[in-house]
Structure 1
Amino acid sequence: MGTTVRRGLTFWRRSIQARVVASTLVLSAVVVSVVGWFLLQQTRDGLLENRVDAVVAEADNESAEALERLVAVPGTETDASTQASELAIPIIARGQTRGFDVVLGGPDSSETGLAAGGSVYTPGLDTSSVPRSLLDHFAASSDTAWTYAPIRTVAEDGSVASEPGIVVGSQVRLPSDGRARTLYFLFPLEEERETLALVTRALLTAGGLLLVLVAGMTWLVTRQVVTPIRAARRVAERLAAGRLQERVRVSGEDDLARLALSFNQMASNLQRQIRQLEELSRVQRRFVSDVSHELRTPLTTVRMAGDVLFDARADFDPVTARAAELLQTELDRFETLLVDLLEISRFDAGAAVLELDDVNLVDVAHRVVERNRPLAEQRGVSLVVRAPARPCLAEADVRRVERIVRNLVTNAIDHAGPPERGRSRVVVHVAGDDHAAAIAVRDYGVGLAPGESALVFNRFWRADPARARTSGGTGLGLSISLEDTHLHGGWLQAWGRPDEGAQFRVTLPRRAGTPLRQSPLPLVPADARERLAGATS
């Protein structure tokens, strides 16, 4: 059931055709319902109005005929009950043949009710069908009146049946006692109810067929619009997958055809520009690779000459000796730059591969820290490793992982705070869980301004262009570290705040190819102001 609901929701979200058809169907149903209700009200009011006019006229005719008979009664008749029966019985007989009931109330029926006695009525009729409001009317007035009321009849087995009807009352005066009595005519509305039910069924049937027709028309119309859009979507997906020769089939000259034509022109322009960029990128990679390789031979020669000069610097004057030392330092940096450029070219060419093995990140952190400790001491920076006692293993290329950590540590040493402010400290954190292992390098230097955490991995980017590279960096270390991390399927992220320092975190999966969901180390350090403010609040 849950799978079916999820599939239905997915289909609803993805299908604009289904949403348009459903919306049109709902709106059409609302309109049809309102119009149908209005027509039913008008039909009912018309039927009832015509029926009221007919029954009132018929009641007036019966009352007029009864008065004519009373006028013809001899003046010697003094029995009021007999005279009332003789008046009511012919009217009751006609009512049974013409489909209405009759009640002739007694002289005091307004006070005592019709059931108290003295009333003559159609056999089987429940006299309570005459509403009290009508009885009260004739207690105060002799004008003809009518009202809607349910007509109840009693069957031979004692069961009571009820149906809607109209009750019309008219007063007559008997010559025998000179007292007024009221004739009540009860007309059922069964025919009108059947007519209204027939009209209701007809409207429901017509409304249902109309909704089906509207849904079908909407589906056909939206299909004409959605089908080309879906075709364009499939072509766009294939273009995104690298099949740049795909195009949308154009048919006709309408707006959709012009849209498809514009889409194809856009795809052709993109294909041409992508080809140009690919060619430029290939030429650039080839240029970097060729230059890097071609520079190795003269660099080797210059390196040999530089080593000779550096070894003999004790025999030179101070200026020449210093020049030999500077030459040796810049040759080291130039050689590192060539190595980095070659590595970058391999990444760009997609030729970088991993040599996987189980790597203990705790050992890696300690080795990198020990190798960079002389540089840290030269800068007056203390290096601290905070790692668990147990191994923290990850399936990775140990050479690349050490290069990542080394670049992060040397970068932190370059940007550590001044010793006189007590911030010349770099802390290396190591942690792991069942799915991932991570190393975070924290410094307390100048930090990063907002937005710089996304730029820090760009090639040759510097937060402060005027700042010197004291560790002999080339500006490619963090870029290479990012590529190494991506090659492992991991994350390399940076956090920093001005004057609070920065923290770089590398997260690797425990098993190669396993997607990462979270890191065992937080990106924002625990001693950052924002973390401390959140803890206190």
Structure 2
Amino acid sequence: MVIRVGRIALPTGLRRALTFWRRSIQARVVVSTLLLSAIVISAVGWFLLQQTRDGLLRHRVDVVVGEVEAEVAATRDRLSTASGTEVNASQQRADLIDPIIEAGDSRGYGVVLGGPEGNDTGLADGGAHRTSGLELSSVPARLERHFDGVNRSTAWTYTEIVRTLPDGTTETKPGIVVGSQVQLPADGQHYTIYFLFPLTEEEETLSLVTRALLTAAGLLLVLVAGITWLVTRQVVTPVRMARRVAERLASGHLQERLRVTGEDDLARLATSFNQMASNLQRQIRQLEELSWVQRRFVSDVSHELRTPLTTVRMAGDVLHDARRDFDPATARAAELLQAELDRFETLLVDLLEISRFDAGAAALDIEDINLLDVAHRVVDAARPLADQRGVLVVVEQPDQPVRAQVDPRRVERILRNLVTNAIDHAYPDDLDRPIVVRMAADDQAAAVTVRDRGVGLAPGESAMVFNRFWRSDPARARSSGGTGLGLAISLEDAHLHGGWLQAWGRPGEGAQFRLTLPRRAGTPLRRSPLPLAPLDEEDPELTVPDDEAPLPDSGREPSRGVSS
């Protein structure tokens, strides 16, 4: 299974590993400690291996150089006792080198006789006298050049010893080649004897040391990982417990507390956390009691006012029906009384609705409807008010049906509040700048925007416009006789659907409200099909990103999604 993140497709296993890495501080500490320990151990191991290798080679060089000098000294002694009248140089060379080759075969090193001095063919002449199977290429050319001229000192260097085995294959091993010159009495020429010592024992020793270091490093890393895991567990476990308790506190289990053991810093942290939780519980209970009293007060007052309001309504209706028999001043008073009674009754209805939201008693009656039909009903109902103000309200026809599973009554109330609010704040007698109701839908969400070109909203007012009884201009008269609770109730209706209700505005340029609802009930919203900023705005700063996920459990878009 592959999950696509942005433009990169990640396998499920890798995604889970990355999630675990981000969320587990214990894993990060253990892995970081292991990496640092591995780097340190590798550096120390490399240094120890280098020192061991240099020490082994240095010791081997001292041994073989001493052995060669002893062998050459013995050879010179034999030559000094040879007859000075011996003129067969070839026989004397054989008598010189054969014992050395036999000694080399028994002691594990090879021998090559080179010379005589000044022979341009190098080892080609004297090279016939050498250990069986030993290739002449085993002697480096730089060592041969060392003995050109009058240089008589013993010299050594590292080399690759190449041997031809009886089955015809070749074998290459690292070694040390030591060269030294002797003078042959028969012809008076100087010949170079090359001793080739393999480093087999040193290789085996170095391999053994390497295996021991690798084993020790592996065991040490396991030990470091275990110790780090145990130490971090002692610190992380109380933190995880605190996180779980904090999550349960956040979910409403206010009685949860941390268990306190010991007197260390973590125990003191747990004690402080418990004290904080107790204080929060006390404060939350006080706020809940105050909120319950407030909701009860609003509900009781709303219900208790209904009876006297009914009596006053009956008396007001009688006065309003008989206003033609009154003098003009009394008739006008009867008309004002009737209008204020209508507004008072609407206010009581809104207060009862708000109290139901506060009490968590509001519920949805879901139906699959076309939002275009709801918009037309709202606009038709608001047309008399729009005609009175001299304002034109237009519903744009969407490209496709905008259907959603919603509560028709609540959605109609939201759109009615938005349209009447737009009519209230539009410039009167301005048919050139109509109020536009626009809607669109995608696979996940449906959106409706109401755009007016009236007084607009000042910076910061787009977030305050949904507050209860808030008015941008308290001195401004309402055309529709609103109560100041319409947008607050609309916001609660939108949240009840799991949707968003947002506002954009600029002074003198009008405002736009956007309602976004999930097309299927219970589906979380991720984006809106319509932008929050009006489509007729050309300012790029007004472009609002809609492809961001909402904050967890908020039912709202990110704060950037509301601009003013």
The whole-number CA distance in structure 2 between the counterparts of 1:391 and 1:185 is 98
Instruction: Identify which of 81, 92, 98 aligns with 2:107.
Output: 98
1:441 aligns with 450
Specify whether residues 395 and 58 from structure 1 end up closer, same or farther in structure 2 by C-alpha distance, changes over 3 A only. closer
Instruction: Tell me which moved more, 32-41 or 185-194.
Output: 185-194
The whole-number CA distance in structure 1 between the counterparts of 2:308 and 2:241 is 58
Q: Is 1:5 matched with 2:14?
A: yes
**Per-residue displacement from partner, 1:306-352 (whole Å, max 9, x unpaired)?**
33333344444444443333333222222211111111011111122
Specify whether residues 202 and 306 from structure 1 end up closer, same or farther in structure 2 by C-alpha distance, changes over 3 A only. same
Specify whether residues 394 and 44 from structure 1 end up closer, same or farther in structure 2 by C-alpha distance, changes over 3 A only. closer
Task: Tell me the SS of whatever aligns to 2:94.
Answer: helix
Instruction: Identify which of 116, 125, 148 aligns with 2:134.
Output: 125
The whole-number CA distance in structure 1 between the counterparts of 2:201 and 2:208 is 10
Instruction: Identify which of 235, 240, 253 aligns with 2:250.
Output: 240
**Per-residue displacement from partner, 1:503-529 (whole Å, max 9, x unpaired)?**
222233344333344444443332122
Quick one: which amino acid aligns to residue 378 of structure 1? Q
2:205 aligns with 195
Indicate if the aligned counterparts of 1:387 and 1:431 stay in contact, CA closer than 8 A.
no
Q: Is 1:154 matched with 2:164?
A: yes
Equivalent positions of 1:105-504 (< 5 A) are 105-108=114-117, 111-117=120-126, 119-140=128-149, 141-388=151-398, 392-419=402-429, 422-423=432-433, 425-433=434-442, 435-504=444-513
The whole-number CA distance in structure 2 between the counterparts of 1:487 and 1:103 is 99
The whole-number CA distance in structure 1 between the counterparts of 2:176 and 2:519 is 88
Instruction: Identify which of 78, 85, 95 aligns with 1:69.
Output: 78
Instruction: Identify which of 83, 91, 95 aligns with 1:82.
Output: 91
Specify whether residues 237 and 146 from structure 1 end up closer, same or farther in structure 2 by C-alpha distance, changes over 3 A only. same
The whole-number CA distance in structure 1 between the counterparts of 2:57 and 2:377 is 101
- How many equivalent residue pairs? 533
Quick one: which amino acid aligns to residue 60 of structure 2? R
Indicate if the aligned counterparts of 1:92 and 1:102 stay in contact, CA closer than 8 A.
yes
Quick one: which amino acid aligns to residue 183 of structure 1? I
Task: Tell me the SS of whatever aligns to 1:56.
Answer: helix
The whole-number CA distance in structure 2 between the counterparts of 1:340 and 1:514 is 28
Instruction: Tell me which moved more, 484-493 or 74-83.
Output: 484-493
Instruction: Tell me which moved more, 24-33 or 98-107.
Output: 98-107
Indicate if the aligned counterparts of 1:449 and 1:496 stay in contact, CA closer than 8 A.
yes
* Alpha-carbon shift at residue 531 of structure 1 (Å): 6.5
Indicate if the aligned counterparts of 2:457 and 2:504 stay in contact, CA closer than 8 A.
yes
Indicate if the aligned counterparts of 2:117 and 2:189 stay in contact, CA closer than 8 A.
no
* Alpha-carbon shift at residue 161 of structure 1 (Å): 1.2
Indicate if the aligned counterparts of 2:350 and 2:485 stay in contact, CA closer than 8 A.
yes
Task: Tell me the SS of whatever aligns to 2:412.
Answer: helix
The whole-number CA distance in structure 1 between the counterparts of 2:443 and 2:61 is 86
Quick one: which amino acid aligns to residue 532 of structure 2? L
TM superposition score normalised by structure 1: 0.93
Indicate if the aligned counterparts of 1:524 and 1:531 stay in contact, CA closer than 8 A.
no
Instruction: Tell me which moved more, 49-58 or 490-499.
Output: 490-499
The whole-number CA distance in structure 2 between the counterparts of 1:438 and 1:359 is 13
The whole-number CA distance in structure 2 between the counterparts of 1:107 and 1:77 is 17
The whole-number CA distance in structure 2 between the counterparts of 1:158 and 1:435 is 78
The whole-number CA distance in structure 2 between the counterparts of 1:52 and 1:301 is 122
Specify whether residues 207 and 391 from structure 1 end up closer, same or farther in structure 2 by C-alpha distance, changes over 3 A only. closer
Q: Is 1:512 matched with 2:512?
A: no
Task: Tell me the SS of whatever aligns to 1:120.
Answer: coil
Instruction: Tell me which moved more, 346-355 or 281-290.
Output: 346-355
Instruction: Tell me which moved more, 460-469 or 290-299.
Output: 460-469
Instruction: Identify which of 60, 85, 94 aligns with 2:69.
Output: 60
Specify whether residues 359 and 182 from structure 1 end up closer, same or farther in structure 2 by C-alpha distance, changes over 3 A only. closer
The whole-number CA distance in structure 1 between the counterparts of 2:406 and 2:252 is 30
The whole-number CA distance in structure 1 between the counterparts of 2:111 and 2:442 is 95
The whole-number CA distance in structure 2 between the counterparts of 1:164 and 1:433 is 75
Task: Tell me the SS of whatever aligns to 1:112.
Answer: coil
* Alpha-carbon shift at residue 397 of structure 1 (Å): 2.8
Indicate if the aligned counterparts of 1:435 and 1:509 stay in contact, CA closer than 8 A.
yes
The whole-number CA distance in structure 2 between the counterparts of 1:145 and 1:412 is 103
The whole-number CA distance in structure 2 between the counterparts of 1:389 and 1:207 is 69
Specify whether residues 344 and 149 from structure 1 end up closer, same or farther in structure 2 by C-alpha distance, changes over 3 A only. same
The whole-number CA distance in structure 2 between the counterparts of 1:188 and 1:467 is 105
Specify whether residues 109 and 450 from structure 1 end up closer, same or farther in structure 2 by C-alpha distance, changes over 3 A only. farther
Quick one: which amino acid aligns to residue 153 of structure 2? D
The whole-number CA distance in structure 2 between the counterparts of 1:124 and 1:118 is 12
The whole-number CA distance in structure 2 between the counterparts of 1:156 and 1:393 is 91
TM superposition score normalised by structure 2: 0.89
Quick one: which amino acid aligns to residue 222 of structure 1? T
* Alpha-carbon shift at residue 21 of structure 1 (Å): 1.1
2:41 aligns with 32
Instruction: Tell me which moved more, 209-218 or 49-58.
Output: 49-58
Specify whether residues 510 and 186 from structure 1 end up closer, same or farther in structure 2 by C-alpha distance, changes over 3 A only. closer
Indicate if the aligned counterparts of 1:489 and 1:509 stay in contact, CA closer than 8 A.
yes
The whole-number CA distance in structure 1 between the counterparts of 2:138 and 2:365 is 100
